Structure 1
Amino acid sequence: MKKRIGSITLIFIISISFVNSQTVSIISPNRKVNVQLFNQQSGNWYLKVNYKNGGKQTEVIPQIDLGLVCSEADFSKGLKFLKAGKSKSIQENYTMLHGKKTDCSNSGNEVVAFFENSGKAKVNLIIRAYNDGVAFCYEFPGKNVAYKVTDELTAYTIPDSTMRWLQKFNPANEGLYAKMADGTEQKDWAYPALFSTPDTSCWFLIHEADVNRNFCGSKLTNYGDKTKYKITFPDEWNGRGTGEVQPTVTLPWKSPWRVIVMGSLADIVESTLVNDVSAPSVIVDTEWIKPGVASWNYWSDNHGTKDYKTVCKFADLAASMGWDYTLLDWEWDAMTNGGNLEDALRYIHSLGVKPLIWYNSGGEHTWVGATPKDRMLTHENRMEEFAKLKKLGIVGVKVDFFESEKQDMINYYLDILEDAAKFEIMVYFHGCLVPRGWQRTYPHLMTYEGVRGAEWYNNSPELTTTAPEHNATLPFTRNVVGAMDYTPVTFTNSQYPHITSYGHELALSVLFESAMQHMADRPEGYYELPDAAKSFLKTVPNTWDDTKLLDGYPGEFTVMARQKGANWYIGGISGIQKEKTQKLNFSFLSENVKYKLTLISDGIHDKTFSVKHLVVDNTSTIDVKMLRRGGFAAELTPLNN
């Protein structure tokens, strides 16, 4: 059949109202999460999500409207429920090269509901219940037909009195999260969105995963009804008006997964559900993919890469600290003051450090003229540029300024990843979308910005006062769904000062997960640290075998433990304006093993440290004092018997 986009409108609407009959129910393996498919009347359907813990059942999301508006056929009336497939178990173990956990498990229960309309056109709804949440997606069977999707009607009903942490959407995803108790504000909201039920028995985080070439990215809006957070396509003005707002899909087709991570706060933070439901790796040989830590000159000197001597100083910093990488940011093509790009690369390589390099994504979708601009824009451009980079020994590219999540931009992201892999070049994105599970599919995608990070100390005085609370919110929101290039751990000041303590800043090296971790301070900021803190930053990993939330509350404080091999690392920060004593419980440690604890916490004021060395085991507890806006970091190493 010839592919075409017809003028006839296909509308698949599953609406919500009074419940007459329950049709389908699926329960998670641990029996805590229950998803139910209900029928209001003939042809009208919706989902309900419940959570059961300790014998108590909580109605987490009372209704999720479902629906798609497409071309070719009418699904708006008389939608006939054909059957529900047999419930089946999803069992898949996989390994991540980087992230919060090495060994992951895609383990849940799935059921498929089959529907057809009066014209016998079919649509399926795939529903999964996991121990840590829910995922569902739409499916059109058939082949060799193209539909234009004009709207998706999926909408999550969130009653007032549900606490929520939401970020107003902007295409670069660099806003601040606001805490609200109701839906009074009606806005465009960014992913991920965090909620807590009124009785606090269950937390849930709404996101999407496995967005691919056959769709666009989306956001949430609650304009029509403040309690309904509807999935919404990008705005026309995104990407300076380039690209189509409405995606075109080719049958057979599955939508991105609509994901609800749920459970305790620890379940949220530790979840890998976004990666679990995403496509497996397409990279067979991954030996060339090497996560690591990089020095970065832009935060302390916005024109640092234009200066050969500055570039050399940051290469020296990486070599001195044992970090694998240094990043050449914008203006590398205009480098002067003693050398050019080739000179800088020779020097960097002589130190045993590997260079990374920045590019403007180019094209009419970005208003930024910073060069080099168009070298990533087309397949031909990329193949030529990647071949040059390979010869120069450059191992990774940072590509900036996408500013859109339309289908054409999703394709552009994936084009870059696929072409870079041909030359064994790692990639990370800035001015971009937040993670959608691509780090599983494309493990050479090391990190994303999509966050208001330390760079904002250059942009305005705002982060000076908001950073403590913001930093204590990100582990429960943005960093849950994937790597986050916040560019942390600064002790000196950029254009605008920070008021977080040195202990707080040191802890970010553990709390903020990124497979390419850019340490943003100037060299003297690290050279002048006391030995314990400097040694910690020389050895702290940035990929993890396991992650555990020990304690915390969004915006107030976070205490997290991460494992690498036999060692554990702890980061704790406070986002509040008063001192706090944190009780550390080490019950997560292996039994019958003693560990050497090196604790680096706040000193007598916010620019000093207190260092303690203790022996602990899994029965130990200690108290740690945090200054206002303070923090601490720790390393636990098993002692030989």
Structure 2
Amino acid sequence: MVAEHPGKLVEHNYFVLNLNEPNQIANTSWIKPGQVLREVTLTTAGSLACIDFAAENNIAYVLFDAGWYGAEEDMKSDATTVTIDPARSKGPLDLPEVIKYAESKGVGILVYVNKKALHRQLDEILPLYKKWGIKGVKYGFVNVGDQYATAWLHQAVRKAAKYELMVDIHDEYRPTGYSRTYPNLLTQEGIRGDEESPSLDQAIYTLYNRMICGAGDYTNCYFAERVTEKMGGRAAQLAKLVAIYSPWQFVYWYDRPEKSPSRAGGAGSAESVIKTDGATKFYNSIPTVWDDTRFMDGKMGEYAVVARRSGSDWYISILNAGDKRQVTLPLDFLKDTSACEATLYYQAPGKKKDVVSIKTIKLQSSLVLDVEANSGCLLHLTR
């Protein structure tokens, strides 16, 4: 891959996809992108609260992560059962009832399965999950690196497609572009996401290099304390949701809806309650797939300006890891700026990083924005 600017490599990341065979799934109507909310309490009450929140906020899926069928690293844990890991939750969790309720609300259910159960039970769990009404599986802690591991994973993706199950491959698997051949592989990790509390310069490095390979499950955080303590603040999180591409975007990773039961410490704690305001309503509305992408400006590890289009709407993401910066945005690609409404979500000077300010902007042929140090902003253009 060759380009005049590193960002153009990201803009043309379909190169890796095109090294693979064309789509082999005749009917792809069941493969649907969208935002995903993790259920962090592993309880029926928490599940119903998550489903209600997802349905009210246009979030397509709710994920049950590690612990729903037992301790994930225990060889005795059975992924054909709902057996809560007591180290993670006291339960109870009535998963069949939860799936039924989710279907009535138009919300899909996804489940995590660790490699220990995958290798023992894959041929058993896939038809079972299809019967249960599950929409997709997150493959966890998979083996990676050698040819055998990759071949096994690709076979596991093909087997999931047979039962109309979408897949997210987690941990160290790097994208190979196999999503072109089997598009039920929506995303994969192979990325130092928000679970690792990356600094904003690290997130920008990730955008410039890892995203050349394709979609990355970044586990975007929003209300968790790490956002303001270790990362670039909530305005930057909005910008990252556009900059870091993934057809499944996992949002509010350490947060829970207000009606969900709390527990002491860790995921589901009282400190990470989702609060609804103008910024979070916008956060919930950001698309996960795009019709056009343009890497407008930036410098490796320092800042990045990425514009993405969904329908007639443009989302321009600015991430700034260094000192306060003035960014000039040429808007000639819009042709007629007078027909656009522009809303800026940003960190205002003097405001804390947990506050997202919102203002309407009048557009001209170009736009100059002041971006606070170690922060970000997101410009939404509508016609």
Cα shift readout 1:65-109 (whole Å, capped 9, x = no counterpart): xxxxxxxxxxxxxxxxxxxxxxxxxxxxxxxxxxxxxxxxxxxxx
Q: Give, in angstroms, the shift of residue 344 of structure 1.
A: 2.6
Q: Give, in angstroms, the shift of residue 494 of structure 1.
A: 5.5
Distance (whole Å) between structure 2 residues aligned to residue 567 and residue 350 of structure 1: 30
Amino acid at match of 2:109: P
- Choose from 270, 274, 277 the match for 1:530: 277
Amino acid at match of 2:173: L
1:287 is aligned to 29
Amino acid at match of 2:131: K
The answer on 1:339 being equivalent to 2:99 is no
2:230 is aligned to 498
C-alpha contact (below 8 Å) 1:595/1:637 kept by paired residues: yes
Distance (whole Å) between structure 2 residues aligned to residue 274 and residue 545 of structure 1: 18
Q: Give, in angstroms, the shift of residue 527 of structure 1.
A: 4.1
Amino acid at match of 2:153: Y
Using the TM superposition, name which of 397-406 and 553-562 deviates more.
397-406
The answer on 1:399 being equivalent to 2:139 is yes
Distance (whole Å) between structure 1 residues aligned to residue 44 and residue 210 of structure 2: 35
Secondary structure of 2:232 counterpart? coil
Cα shift readout 1:541-596 (whole Å, capped 9, x = no counterpart): 100111001111111011110011111111111112x2222222212223576211
- Choose from 361, 365, 372 the match for 1:614: 361
2:240 is aligned to 508
- Choose from 330, 347, 354 the match for 2:66: 330
Secondary structure of 1:377 counterpart? helix
Gaps of 5+ in 1: 1-132, 134-260, 299-303, 363-373, 458-462
Distance (whole Å) between structure 1 residues aligned to residue 216 and residue 246 of structure 2: 5
Secondary structure of 1:332 counterpart? coil
Distance (whole Å) between structure 2 residues aligned to residue 485 and residue 564 of structure 1: 20
- Choose from 102, 126, 129 the match for 1:386: 126
Q: Give, in angstroms, the shift of residue 397 of structure 1.
A: 0.3
Q: CA RMSD in A?
A: 2.2
Amino acid at match of 1:547: T
The answer on 1:561 being equivalent to 2:293 is no
Give TM-score scaled by structure 2 length.
0.84
- Choose from 351, 356, 366 the match for 2:105: 351
1:367-378 equivalent positions in 2, closer than 5 A: 374=117, 376-377=118-119
Q: Give, in angstroms, the shift of residue 497 of structure 1.
A: 4.0
2:334 is aligned to 589
Amino acid at match of 1:631: G
C-alpha contact (below 8 Å) 2:228/2:234 kept by paired residues: no
1:309 is aligned to 45
Instruction: Provide closer, same or farther for how the CA distance between residues 495 and 425 of structure 1 changes in structure 2, counting only shifts above 3 A.
Output: same
Greater helix proportion: 2
Aligned sequence identity (%): 29
Greater strand proportion: 1
Cα shift readout 1:189-243 (whole Å, capped 9, x = no counterpart): xxxxxxxxxxxxxxxxxxxxxxxxxxxxxxxxxxxxxxxxxxxxxxxxxxxxxxx
Secondary structure of 1:421 counterpart? helix
Distance (whole Å) between structure 1 residues aligned to residue 227 and residue 298 of structure 2: 31
Secondary structure of 1:588 counterpart? helix
Secondary structure of 2:103 counterpart? helix
The answer on 1:637 being equivalent to 2:379 is no
C-alpha contact (below 8 Å) 1:473/1:554 kept by paired residues: yes
1:475 is aligned to 207
Gaps of 5+ in 2: 70-82, 85-89, 259-271
The answer on 1:628 being equivalent to 2:334 is no
Q: Give, in angstroms, the shift of residue 526 of structure 1.
A: 7.3
Secondary structure of 2:138 counterpart? strand
2:76 is aligned to none
1:151-170 equivalent positions in 2, closer than 5 A: none
The answer on 1:443 being equivalent to 2:183 is yes
The answer on 1:278 being equivalent to 2:23 is no
C-alpha contact (below 8 Å) 1:594/1:615 kept by paired residues: no
Give TM-score scaled by structure 1 length.
0.52
Q: Give, in angstroms, the shift of residue 440 of structure 1.
A: 0.9
Distance (whole Å) between structure 2 residues aligned to residue 297 and residue 596 of structure 1: 36
C-alpha contact (below 8 Å) 1:296/1:518 kept by paired residues: yes
Q: Give, in angstroms, the shift of residue 290 of structure 1.
A: 0.3
Count, aligned residues: 347
Cα shift readout 1:96-145 (whole Å, capped 9, x = no counterpart): xxxxxxxxxxxxxxxxxxxxxxxxxxxxxxxxxxxxx3xxxxxxxxxxxx
Q: Give, in angstroms, the shift of residue 326 of structure 1.
A: 0.6
Amino acid at match of 1:357: V
Instruction: Provide closer, same or farther for how the CA distance between residues 534 and 490 of structure 1 changes in structure 2, counting only shifts above 3 A.
Output: closer
Q: Give, in angstroms, the shift of residue 316 of structure 1.
A: 2.8
1:263 is aligned to 4
Secondary structure of 2:154 counterpart? helix
Q: Give, in angstroms, the shift of residue 491 of structure 1.
A: 2.7
Secondary structure of 1:403 counterpart? coil
